[in-house]
Structure 1
Amino acid sequence: MRQRLTPKPDPVGHPASGSRLWNVPNGLTMLRLVLVIPFGILLFGYGDQAGARAAAAIIFALASLTDYFDGALARKHNLVTTFGKIADPLADKALTGVALVGLSYLGDLPWWVTIVILAREIGVTILRFWVIRHGVIAASRGGKAKTATQIVAILLYLMPLTGFLATFRIWVMGLALVLAIVTGIDYLIRALKVRQRARLDSGQPRQ
């Protein structure tokens, strides 16, 4: 009689299951990745047209909403997976990256702002994979605040604003930039702690 094998738990403490990979939260994450394509086409190809910019803003807003709902549903229904914890931030970075590069390409946002934010995002992604064998670092409150501020700033830049609102969006983007730098440093510190803890648990000396 064959012995049934119990699936090993995943790193976040939930039982591993093939059905867990394809669930609603992960589906929303994949939808966000798909929406990056029409968003990029509208922004890069027709970004000088008001109608296309409005459509791009709507797609960006919808894609950003999926970021909220996939996390909320995953936590509420105990559907948090390692795949989701990795794919979700990657989808966020793809959407944000296309938006920032597109806005700089159109001359609406200074290139140095885009470069600093994207350098932070790429750095965090590298750190995420650097520690993935030892644990998954969940987003901090500061990281969530950074994401929310960044979304608002990008939406404001996608809109044809003038006067006070045009100045206001500069301040919002400035805040998003500061939060990106601060939370990037915080993520680096937490990643180093995870690696150090893993070395201590394995009996290796500190480096």
Structure 2
Amino acid sequence: MPLNLPIILTWLRVALIPIIVGIFYLPESILPLHLQNLLGAVVFALAAVTDWFDGFLARRWNQTSSFGAFLDPVADKLMVAAALILLVELARAPSWLAVIIIGREITISALREWMAQIGKSKSVAVATIGKFKTTAQMIAILLLLWWDPIIPGIKTSIIGLVALYIAGVLTIVSMFYYLRVAAEQFRENR
């Protein structure tokens, strides 16, 4: 396993997952809810920044590796799944929408693994629609963790929920995009 700064940042993202979740399980006598929201959102934002930064550095410094290519999406999916489950537990996100988003992540991960086995992994590389989906997800989760108004009268809870529904729609659209690409490859290989 190569150990460089991009991989360390990816491992940091994995390590931040239990911290994000744990913040919301602290008793309010230790950490009041509004500080749980703030701290949880800040730690999630830090994790989300490492998601962008590790890939940027790996490409910039030519430190890409097959292990990093494996670990990065696993860390992303763990972070999103944990945050969505937490938001459902906190009654800030609908469970059915979390199931759709997490289910898509599992489906596309399995699809990518299968495509790699038949030598067609490049055909299901991350597409622009997937990047939009990820951006909407990260914004939604961040705002739903924050929960408290940023500016009086502007409810992050409403904006976050709208962003989560947008992420849900993009989740479904991107899943069908990847499945269609895979189906074309499957037909060519038959």
Alignment-derived partner of residue 168 in structure 1: 159
The one of 55, 76, 84 aligned to 1:92: 76
- 2:111 pairs with 1:111: no
Please state which structure has a larger fraction of its residues in helix: 2
130-139 vs 177-186, which moves further: 130-139
Distance of 1:112 and 1:46 partners within structure 2: 28
159-168 vs 145-154, which moves further: 159-168
Give the counterpart letter for 1:120 in structure 2. Answer: R
- 2:48 pairs with 1:61: no
Shift of 1:44: 4.4
| Alpha-carbon spacing, 1:160–1:26, altered in 2? closer, same or farther (3 Å) | same
Alignment-derived partner of residue 34 in structure 1: 15
Alignment-derived partner of residue 141 in structure 2: 154
Distance of 2:96 and 2:27 partners within structure 1: 23
Give the counterpart letter for 1:173 in structure 2. Answer: L
The one of 172, 176, 189 aligned to 1:185: 176
Distance of 2:60 and 2:137 partners within structure 1: 25
**What TM-score comes out, normalization by structure 2 length?**
0.85
**What TM-score comes out, normalization by structure 1 length?**
0.78
Alignment-derived partner of residue 83 in structure 1: 67
Report the aligned-residue RMSD. Answer: 2.1
The answer to whether the 8 Å contact 1:131/1:195 transfers is no
| Alpha-carbon spacing, 1:110–1:75, altered in 2? closer, same or farther (3 Å) | same
The alignment partner of 2:126 has SS state of: coil
51-60 vs 134-143, which moves further: 134-143
The one of 131, 140, 143 aligned to 1:144: 131
Shift of 1:83: 1.8
Larger radius of gyration: 1
The answer to whether the 8 Å contact 2:40/2:146 transfers is no
Q: Give the unaligned 5+ runs of structure 1.
A: 1-17, 200-205
| Alpha-carbon spacing, 1:44–1:103, altered in 2? closer, same or farther (3 Å) | farther
Shift of 1:140: 1.3
The alignment partner of 1:139 has SS state of: coil
The answer to whether the 8 Å contact 2:140/2:159 transfers is no
47-56 vs 64-73, which moves further: 47-56
124-133 vs 160-169, which moves further: 160-169
- 2:104 pairs with 1:132: no
State the identity as a percent: 34
Shift of 1:151: 0.6
Q: How many residues are matched?
A: 180
Distance of 1:23 and 1:195 partners within structure 2: 37
The answer to whether the 8 Å contact 1:43/1:53 transfers is yes
The answer to whether the 8 Å contact 2:48/2:138 transfers is yes
The alignment partner of 2:56 has SS state of: helix
Give the counterpart letter for 2:169 in structure 1. Answer: V
